[in-house]
Chains A and B, each alone.
Chain A
Amino acid sequence: MKKINLICLLSLFLSAFSYSQNYTISGHITDLKNGETVINASIFDSNLKKGCVSNSYGFYSLTLPKGAVNLLYSYVGYRQQAKAFKLQKDTVINIQLSESYELSEVTVVASRKDLGVKGSQMSAIDLPIAQIKSIPTLFGETDVLKAIQLLPGVKAGTEGQAGFYVRGGGPDENLILLDDVPLYNVNHMFGFFSVFNADAIKDVVLYKGSFPARFGGRLSSIVDISMNDGNNKTYHGNVTVGLISSKINLEGPIFNDKTTFNISARRTYLDIIAQPLIQSTLSKQPGMEKTYAGYYFYDLNAKISHKFSDNDRLYLSFFSGNDVIYSNIQQSSTSSSTGTEKTWLKMNWNWGNFLTALRWNHVISGKLFMNATAYYTRYNFLMDIGVDNETVVTNPPSTTNSNMKLGFHSGIDDYAAKLDFSYAPNPAHDIKFGLNYTYHTFRPGVTAAQTITGITQAMDTTIGDKDISSHEAVAYFEDNVSITDALKANIGLHYSTFNVQGQFYQSLEPRLSMRYLINDKLSLKAGYASMSQYIHLLSNSNIDLPTDLWVPVTKRIQPMHSQQASVGVFYNLLNLLDLSVEGYYKNMDNLIEYKDGSSFFGSSTGWEDKVNVGRGWAYGIEFLAQKTVGKTTGWIGYTWSKTDRLFDRPGQQLNNGLVFPAKYDRTHDFSLVISHKFSDRFDLAATWVYSTGNSATLALQNYQGPNIPGTSGASSGIYNVLSQPSLPYISARNNYRYQPTHRLDVGANFHKKLKHGTRTWNVSAYNAYNQLNPFLTTIKTNSVYDANTGVTSQVKQLVQISLFPIIPSVSYSYKF
Chain B
Amino acid sequence: MTLNKTSILILLLVLIFSSCQKVIEFSGSITDPQMVVNCLLTPDSVVSAQVSQSRFFLSNSATFESIDNANVSLYVNGLLKDNSLTGKANGLYAGAYKPVVGDSISLKVKIPGQNDITCGTTIPHPVGPFWINSNLELTGINTPIVAVVTPKTGGDPVTDTIGTSVGRRLFLSLTFKDNPDVTNYYRLVVYTKTYSGTKVTTDYTFYFDDIVSGNSTSDAVGPPTSLSSNKFNVFSDELFNGKQYSLKFSVDDNFNSYFPGQSRPQSSKSLFVNLQSISKSYYLYLQTRSNIKTNSFFAEPVQVYSNINGGVGIIGGYTSSNTARINL
Q: How far is the CB of A687 from chain B (nearest CB, A)?
A: 19
Chain B contacts with A in 171-216, Cβ cutoff 8 A:
187, 189, 191, 202, 204, 214, 216
Report chain A residues within 8 Å CB of B9: 273
Q: Does A792 contact B (CB under 8 A)?
A: no
Complex CA gap A779/B23 in Å reads 9
Q: From B102-110, B114-122, B147-155, B299-307, give the one contacting chain A.
A: B299-307
Within 19-65 of B, Cβ neighbours of A (below 8 Å) are at: 19-28, 30-31, 33-34, 36, 38, 40, 42, 48, 50, 52-60, 63-64
- Closest A residue by C-beta to B55: A702
- Is residue A574 contacting chain B, with contact meaning CB distance below 8 A? no
8 Å CB interface, A691-713 against B: 697-706, 708-712
Which residue of chain B has the shortest Cβ distance to A540 in the bound complex?
B298
Interface residue A805 (Cβ < 8 Å from any Cβ of B)? yes
> A577-608: contact bitstring with B at CB < 8 Å (1 yes, 0 no)?
00000000000000001111111110001100
- In the complex, identify which listed stretch (B124-132, B258-266, B283-291) lies at the interface while the others stay far away: B283-291
A273 and B13 contacting across the interface, CB-CB below 8 Å: yes
Name B31's contact: one of A274, A711, A731 (CB within 8 Å): A731
Q: Which A residues lie within 8 Å of B288 (CB)?
A: 596
Q: Is the CB of A599 within 8 A of B299?
A: yes
B298 touches A802 (CB 8 A): no
B292 within 8 A of A: yes
Taking a contact as CB atoms under 8 Å apart, the answer to whether B299 and A797 are in contact is no
Q: Which of B20, B42, B50 contacts A805 (CB 8 A)?
A: B20
Known A541-B300, A703-B34; contact A708-B232, beta-carbon cutoff 8 A: yes
Inter-chain pairs besides A609-B214, A798-B58, 15 sampled, C-beta below 8 Å = A270-B13, A273-B6, A541-B298, A598-B300, A701-B34, A701-B312, A719-B90, A728-B57, A728-B301, A728-B302, A730-B301, A739-B27, A801-B19, A802-B19, A803-B19
Distance (whole angstroms) from the CB of A327 to the closest CB of chain B: 17
Residues in chain B near residue A409, CB distance under 8 A: none
Sample (15) of A-B pairs whose CB atoms are under 8 Å apart: A276-B6, A595-B300, A597-B302, A598-B291, A698-B28, A700-B31, A711-B204, A711-B232, A719-B90, A719-B92, A779-B57, A794-B60, A803-B19, A803-B20, A805-B15
Identify B20's interface contact among A274, A721, A802, CB under 8 A. A802
**Interface-centre pick from A596, A599, A703, A775 (highest chain B CB count, 10 A):** A703
Beyond A596-B288, A777-B24, whether A702 also contacts B54 by CB under 8 A is: yes
Which residues on A sit within 8 Å (CB–CB) of B50?
704, 706, 719
Given A709-B40, A739-B24, answer yes or no on A701-B214 (Cβ-Cβ < 8 Å).
Answer: no
Cβ–Cβ < 8 Å partners of A799 in chain B: 21-24
The interface centre, meaning the residue of A270, A593, A721 with most chain B CB atoms within 10 A of its CB, is: A721
**B301 in complex: contacting residue of A270, A697, A782, CB < 8 Å:** A697
B28 — which chain A residues lie within 8 A by C-beta?
698, 700, 736-737
Alpha-carbon distance A801/B23, docked complex (angstroms): 9
CB < 8 Å neighbour of A596 from B19, B291, B314: B291
Q: Check if A288 is an interface residue, CB within 8 A of chain B.
A: no
CA distance A729 to B33 in the complex (A): 10
Note all chain A residues with C-beta closer than 8 A to B232: 708, 711
Q: Is the CB of A730 within 8 A of B24?
A: no
In contact, A704 and B64 (Cβ under 8 angstroms): yes
Most buried by B among A609, A704, A736, A782: A704
Interface hub of A276, A656, A700, A779 (most chain B Cβ within 10 A): A700
Decide if A399 is an interface residue (CB 8 Å cutoff). Answer: no
Interface: A419 (CB within 8 A): no
Instruction: Map CB proximity to A onto B226-250 as digits: 1 under 8 Å, 0 otherwise.
Output: 0000001000000000000000000
Interface check A333, CB cutoff 8 A: no
Tell which of B15, B40, B286 touches A718, judged by Cβ atoms closer than 8 Å.
Answer: B40
Q: Which residues of A586-643 are within 8 A (CB) of B?
A: 593-601, 605-606, 609
- Whether a CB of chain A sits under 8 angstroms from the CB of B168 is no
CA distance A731 to B28 in the complex (A): 13
Is B276 located at the chain interface by the 8 A CB criterion? yes
List, in ascending order, chain B residues with CB within 8 A of A798's CB: 23-26, 58
Question: Does A807 interact with chain B (Cβ within 8 Å)?
Answer: yes
B136 at the interface (CB under 8 A from A): no
**CB within 8 A of A655: which of B24, B191, B298, B303?**
B303
Inter-chain contact A705/B300, CB cutoff 8 Å: no
Are B23 and A797 within 8 A (Cβ)?
Answer: yes
- Chain B residues touching A, range: 35 or more
B138 in the interface, Cβ–Cβ < 8 Å?
no
Q: Is B321 an interface residue (CB 8 A)?
A: no
Question: A801 contacts B20, CB within 8 Å?
Answer: yes
A274 touching B90, Cβ below 8 Å: no
CA distance A130 to B187 in the complex (A): 65
- Residues of A close to B15: CB separation below 8 A: 805
Q: How many angstroms from the CA of A291 to the CA of B40 in the assembled complex? A: 59
Task: Determine the distance from Cα of A540 to Cα of B19 in the docked complex, in whole angstroms.
Answer: 20
B169 within 8 A of A: no
Q: What are the residues of chain B within 8 A of A732 when measuring CB–CB?
A: 303
Q: Does A772 count as interface, using CB distance less than 8 angstroms?
A: yes
Quick check: is A394 within 8 A (CB to CB) of the other chain?
Answer: no
With most chain A CB atoms within 10 A of its CB, the pick from B20, B218, B274 is B20
The residues of A that contact B90 with a CB separation of less than 8 Å are: 719, 721
Let me know if B10 is at the binding interface, CB within 8 A: yes
> A597, B292: Cβ atoms under 8 Å?
yes
> Contact check: which of B31, B189, B216, B217 meets A710 at CB < 8 Å?
B189
CA distance A797 to B59 in the complex (A): 9
Asked if A483 is at the interface of the complex by the 8 Å CB criterion, the answer is no
Closest chain A CB from B21 CB (angstroms): 5
Q: Mark B146-167, 1 if CB is under 8 A from A, else 0.
A: 0000000000000000000000
Question: Are A597's CB and B40's CB within 8 A?
Answer: no
Q: Shortest 9 CB-CB distances between A and B: which pairs?
A: A597-B291, A703-B54, A710-B189, A701-B54, A540-B298, A596-B302, A599-B298, A697-B301, A599-B299
Please indicate the chain B residues that have their CB under 8 angstroms from the CB of A698 in the complex: 28, 57, 301
- Residue B81 CB within 8 A of the other chain: no
User: In the bound complex, do residue A795 and residue B301 qualify as a contact, i.e. CB atoms below 8 Å apart?
Assistant: no
Hey, what's the 0/1 contact readout for B288-328 against A, CB within 8 Å counting as 1? 11011100111111111000000011100010000000000
Q: Check A605–B217 contact: CB distance below 8 A.
A: yes
Contacting residues of chain A (618-676) with chain B, CB-CB under 8 angstroms: 655-656
**Chain A contacts for B191, CB-based, 8 A:** 710
B66 within 8 A of A: yes
B258 to chain A, nearest CB (A): 30
Residue B16 lies at the interface, judged by CB distance under 8 Å to chain A: yes
Taking CB atoms, residues of chain A closer than 8 Å to B19 are 775, 801-803
By a CB distance below 8 angstroms, the chain A residues around B27 are 737, 739
Tell me whether A795 and B60 are in contact (CB under 8 A): yes
Chain B's nearest CB lies how many Å from the CB of A682?
26
A277-B10, A777-B24 known; A699+B58 contact, CB < 8 A: no
Contact A710 B274, beta carbon cutoff 8 Å: yes
Task: Determine if A542 is an interface residue (Cβ-Cβ < 8 Å).
Answer: yes
Q: Are A800 and B24 in contact (CB under 8 A)?
A: yes
- Among residues of A, the one whose C-beta sits closest to the C-beta of B16 is A807
A801 to B20, CA, bound (A): 6
Cβ of B21 and Cβ of A700 under 8 Å apart?
no
Contact (A715, B202) CB under 8 Å given A277-B10, A702-B54, A705-B313: yes
B40 to chain A, nearest CB (A): 6
Question: Could you give, for residues 517-534 of chain A, a 1 whenever the CB lies within 8 Å of some chain B CB and a 0 otherwise?
Answer: 000000000000000000
A691 to chain B, nearest CB (A): 16
| B31 contacts A701, C-beta separation under 8 Å | yes
Chain A positions within 8 Å of B10 at CB level: 273-274, 276-277
- Asked if residues B55 and A701 are in contact (CB atoms below 8 Å), the reply is yes
A793 CB within 8 Å of chain B: yes
Cα A605 to Cα B215 in complex, Å, equals: 12
Which residues of chain A have C-beta atoms less than 8 A from B217's C-beta?
A: 605-606
Residue numbers in B under 8 Å from A803 (CB-CB): 19-20
Chain B hits for A702, CB < 8 A: 54-55, 57, 64
Closest Cβ neighbor of A277 among chain B residues: B10
Chain B nearest CB, measured from A375 CB (Å)? 34
Residues of B close to A597: CB separation below 8 A: 291-293, 296, 299-302
